[in-house]
Amino acid sequence: MISNPGGFVEGVTLQNLLVVEPKPRNPLLADAVKRIGLAERTGRGVDLIYQGLLRYWRPEPDYSRSDTTTVVVHLSSAAPDVDFLRMIIAAEEKSGAPLPLDSLIILARLRKERRLGVTELAKAIQKNEPSARAVLERLAVEIYGTSINK
């Protein structure tokens, strides 16, 4: 469990945490941390947290205890799912690139819940339904070598 005094910066909510433009609470401190190499230049630390957990099929970070005075994130230490990791590695080797965060979120949700519609998956990646469909199409090709439109 990690907590940080002060709520999310203006414009950031649980519903847009993955897609909102990064806004540091203290721009000077954020710049200093980036310059010494302790943070990535784009400020997308939330993405890195999600990717690090979902890649091993651990539960995604839980920000639900955050409020207007504190940001709280719970990171699970559950055992990784080795079969899920093997599937991710195989897909990445096939495509020659790491799977994007949207793909990891969708794969993790489908592995957990098995049957989800595009509407639910779009909410999970915090994007619209056409974006979710595009991710599903890419996954079908990358993992199964087939199109979902056939």
Domain boundaries, the chain: 2-73, 82-144
Mean pLDDT of all residues belonging to the chain: 86
Q: Is 125 helix (H, G, I), strand (E, B) or coil?
A: helix
Q: Is domain 82-144 in CATH 1.10.10, yes or no?
A: yes
Residue 35 has a pLDDT of 80
Q: Is 72 helix (H, G, I), strand (E, B) or coil?
A: strand
Which DSSP symbol is given to 141? I
Can you name the residues that pair with 2 across neighbouring β-strands? 73
Residue 7: what residue type?
G
Q: State pLDDT tens for residues 47-75.
A: 888 888 888 888 889 999 998 899 899 99
- What is the pTM (predicted TM-score) of this model? 0.78
Q: Which helix (H) or strand (E) holds 2?
A: strand 2-5
- Of the pLDDT bands very low, low, confident and very high (cuts 50, 70, 90), residue 134 is very high
Which DSSP symbol is given to 78? P
What is the 3-state secondary structure of 72-108? EEECCCCCCCHHHHHHHHHHHHHHCCCCCHHHHHHHH
